[in-house]
Structure 1
Amino acid sequence: MTKLIPYGRQDINEADIQAVIDVLKSDFLTQGPAVPAFEVAVRDFVGAKHAIATSNATSALHLACLALGVGPGDIVWTSPITFVASANCAVYCGAKVDFVDVDLDSFNMSEQALRCKLEHARKARLLPKVLIPVHMGGQSCNMAAFYDLSKEYGFSIIEDASHAIGGRYQNQQVGSCQFSSITVFSFHPVKIITTGEGGMAITNDLGLAKKMQLLRSHGITREQSEMVSIPDGPWFYEQIDLGFNYRMTDIQAALGLSQMSRLHDFVIKRNSIAHRYEKLLKDVPVFLPKIAKDTYSAYHLYVIQLNLELISSSHKNVFNELRNAGIGVNLHYIPVYLQPYYQNLGFSKGYCPNAEKYYSRAISLPMFSSLTDEEQDWVVTQLIKAIQK
């Protein structure tokens, strides 16, 4: 095997390319018909009422926090095993961020840790305004339990489903928002489907949808019912809030709309690859991801954890050996609170023991829909070789 096998890769076909070309030849490269068409496609697929396409998932998370009124003096809780954007979105709003430890089987936010932290927070009067559970790797968190806790403790929920479009929970598509106020998807190239860069916020609440739509485009409205003044003419608009330029282009949306036609096939293929990994690695000293009975993972990632007690090599050495063999493994993620920015806010090593244990032994193996059996066999062969070295 001579070529590099990345941990993730987009799958672009001729139909995708033609969809983009059609937009490039059209009258609208942005703010045209492709964006609302893409929004409708995703909205209908997940079975929700409203969809707001954005420039990326980070901007969608920011809009979601703002729509829920997150601001100075508020507290937002999220997972430490995620990309930094899941926490940064609350800091952008002036809120404080805290972290709930993860479960070592699913890598998702631990229900037990959340319950314990909420009990202590209620006594200290430091309950969160918003909880942002992250569907790590494509598997949904236990959202029904989190939703029950939200009613008991009075917080809202934003599902960070950046990894999970096409996944299911309790026989419903992730993004239905049955157990949350807002769900956020990512369409980065290594995700399940891509728009190049892009994101989307999903909600069943019309008020939240309108707020996010307003803030997505500078806080400007052309709706007379929302204006302070009587319009001077048909050209008139008003900025009624301080918003942002978080819009998705029609070029991006056209690609996303085309990719939606293959989303189901992508997820089936990823699950097939995951099941094959499970068979190939069953006798290897690694901990494999465990999928809960009521979930169907989109498998954005396939993360193993090395059983370091049974191997002679170190985590770093195994990682380096795989990279040297042309396998672009990665590590998702460094616990967010260990980043210098968050350490400067008072967090330190030892804060979430499970997250740190996970980090000390996790490796993301290649997982993408076009991964061949030959490539997968090479990955497993080199992993076994690296462990034994």
Structure 2
Amino acid sequence: MTAALPEPESTLPFLPYGRQVIEADDIAAVTAALQGDFLTTGPLVGKFESALAATVRAQEAVVCSNGTAALYIAAKALGLKPGSKVIVPSLTFLATASAPHLAGAEIVFADVDPDTGLMRAEDFEWALARAGNADAVFNVHLNGQCGAIEAIHEIARRHGLKIVDDACHALGTSYRLGGAEKMVGENALSDMTVFSFHPVKTVTMGEGGAVTVNDARLADALRLHRNHGMTRDAEEFETTEDAFERPGHPNPWYYELVEPGFNWRATDIQCALGLTQLAKLTRFAARRRALAAAYDSLLAPLKPALMPVAHTECLPTLHLYPVLIDFAACGHTRTEVMARLRDEGIGTQVHYYPVHRQRYYADRYGHTDLPGADRYYARALSLPFYASMVLSDVVRVAEALRRVLHL
């Protein structure tokens, strides 16, 4: 289980819960981009989009400035607007709910499995019943795992909902469908998939996001909403007097506003880094799986007071390694545990405070009883987990947990 891991000693006195892995070729690629002709949108944008689409087996990828922007342009591409309703599991980062809400939709929060943090089929159906009707579901692949995606797909299609997979944690994750391996991002069971390339993700662009899609019309809509809601496509021009010198000859300077929007474009600098990082996905994924297996083994004796988040039936490339701790049984609050681990040079984090409990949404929609999300949150703690960790780091964290929790 641990033989494949290298054995050098860790050089970090403090282990953060997550961090980027930047190597010499990454730095060289960014330097070359800085010395090139384009700093913002240039040829590296298209190259990264092609590489990402090929990696996850999607027909197209549309890259943008960050994962939140990716969620937003996905919502706009679906035509979400005031009066729309979107189902979102409560155990996620704010952006999964706030992006479609900023596009105009109202959010209906779904509960999750208390041991995985993932939305189950029954959670989805219960949220749909509360909503009365809905237009889309933004399903979250929390920590890098995907849950009941086949059941959620069947329910969504039966009710006429579009499906956006929030896979900001799940680049490199795959699952079985009808005996075949499918990549998260391939969109075998969704309309679009959203990724993030924040520094603590498996692959980073510094900041960056993307949407993968197999529908050319949706891809065009994503590009429109990435770029101010404006078009330079002459076939879409309607103000013909200003757009054309004469029929069939558009003015080369002309562009037309279809719908006011924002600048969510990615830069060539970001995509230069993204390209070199994406080429390392297989290596990074293998290391994360080996580290997760080491954690699973070393933490097994600490059950039931401490348990790793339950495994699902996918092959995950984990973004986070969370554990579920019975803090009351251990005689310490979570804040105390985090402080004592920090004193030992170990950083931790909580993913996430349930979004339905956030002040804005609680004020807007009132109290929603989501016991699964509340129970997951009450026990969750994310441990150090990134591709440059070594086995001695995992041993150090496990031993510190045993001491701090008196297990």
Q: TM-score, normalised by structure 1?
A: 0.95
The answer to whether the 8 A contact 1:55-1:248 is kept is: yes
| Alpha-carbon offset, residue 309 of structure 1 | 6.1
Indicate yes or no: 2:189 matched with 1:183: no
- Identify the match of residue 152 of structure 1 among 150, 158, 164: 158
User: Could you tell me which amino acid in structure 2 is paired with residue 321 of structure 1?
Assistant: R
How much does 1:72 deviate?
A: 0.7
2:259 maps to 1:246: no
2:244 aligned residue: 231
- Equivalent residues of 2:139, 2:165 under 8 A apart: yes
Q: Deviation per CA, 1:43-89, whole angstroms, max 9, x where unpaired?
A: 01111111110100101101111111111111111111111000001
Distance in structure 2 (CA, Å) of the matches to 1:315 and 1:28: 48
Distance 2:258 2:350 in 1: 43
- 2:173 maps to a residue whose letter is G
AA of the residue aligned to 2:270: Q
**Does structure 1 residue 29 correspond to structure 2 residue 49?**
no
- Give the secondary structure class of the aligned counterpart of 1:6: coil
For residue 364 of structure 1, give the secondary structure of its aligned residue in structure 2: strand
1:105 shift after superposition: 2.6
Q: Which residue type is aligned with residue 267 of structure 1?
A: A
Work out the CA distance in 2 between the residues paired with 1:289 and 1:187. Answer: 23
1:363-374 equivalence runs, <5 A? 363-374=381-392
Q: Where do 1:350-389 residues align within 5 Å?
A: 351-388=369-406
- 1:216 maps to a residue whose letter is R
- 1:129-153 CA deviation, whole Å, 9 max, x = no partner? 1101110000113211111011111
**Shift, 1:307, TM fit:** 3.0
What is the distance in 1 between the residues matched to 2:172 and 2:113?
A: 22
Query: Deviation of residue 280 (structure 1)?
Result: 0.2
Paired position in structure 1 for 2:308: 288
By how many angstroms is 1:375 displaced?
Answer: 1.6
Q: Which secondary structure does the structure 1 equivalent of 2:107 belong to?
A: strand
Q: Confirm or deny that 1:103 pairs with 2:113.
A: yes
Aligned to 2:94: 84
Q: Distance in 2 between matches of 1:114 and 1:147?
A: 10
Matched, 1:126 2:140: no
Cα 1:298/1:347, change in 2 over 3 Å: farther
Question: Any conservation in 2 of the 1:109–1:133 contact (CA below 8 Å)?
Answer: yes
| Offset at residue 236 of structure 1 (A) | 2.1
2:336 alignment partner in structure 1: 317
Question: Which of 335, 338, 362 matches 2:354?
Answer: 335
Aligned sequence identity (%): 37
Indicate if the aligned counterparts of 1:132 and 1:159 stay in contact, CA closer than 8 A. Answer: yes
2 CA distance for matches of 1:23 and 1:50?
Answer: 23
Query: Which runs of structure 2 are paired with 1:63-82 in the superposition (5 Å)?
Result: 63-82=73-92
SS in 2 for 1:328: coil
8 Å CA contact 2:308, 2:322 repeated in 1: yes
> Are the counterparts in 1 of residues 110 and 126 from structure 2 also a CA contact under 8 Å?
no
Query: Which residue number corresponds to residue 265 of structure 1?
Result: 283
Return the letter of the residue paired with 1:245: N
Runs of 4+ aligned residues of structure 1 deviating over 4 Å after TM superposition are none
3-state SS of the aligned residue for 2:311?
coil
Higher alpha-carbon deviation: 146-155 or 283-292: 283-292
Deviation at 1:3, TM superposition (A): 1.5
Q: TM-score normalised to the size of structure 2?
A: 0.91
Q: Which amino acid aligns with 2:387?
A: S
Report if aligned partners of 2:327, 2:333 keep a CA contact under 8 Å in 1.
Answer: yes
- Is 1:133–1:141's contact at 8 Å kept on the other side of the alignment? no
Q: CA deviation at 1:245?
A: 0.3
Q: Distance in 1 between matches of 2:222 and 2:47?
A: 18
Match of 1:277 in 2: 295
The 3-state SS of whatever aligns with 1:244 is: coil
Secondary structure, counterpart of 1:53 in structure 2: strand
Equivalent runs, 1:108-119 vs 2, <5 Å = 108-118=118-128
Determine the C-alpha separation between the residues in 1 that align with 2:307 and 2:382.
12
Counterpart residue number, 2:143:
137
Residue segments in structure 2 that go unaligned for 5+ positions in a row: 1-9, 246-250
Q: 2:62 aligns to what SS in structure 1?
A: strand
8 Å Cα contact 1:287-1:305 kept in structure 2 = yes
The match for 1:174 is 184
Other structure's SS at 2:147 match: coil
**For residues 10 and 67 of structure 1, what CA distance do their matches in structure 2 show?**
31
- Say whether the 8 Å CA contact 1:227–1:240 is kept in structure 2: no
| One-letter identity of the residue aligned with 2:96 | S
Which of 44, 59, 64 is equivalent to 2:69? 59
Q: Residues 308, 328 of structure 1: CA spacing in aligned structure 2 closer, same or farther, 3 A cutoff?
A: closer
CA deviation profile, 1:179-219 (whole Å, cap 9, x unmatched): 11110000000001000000001111111110110111112
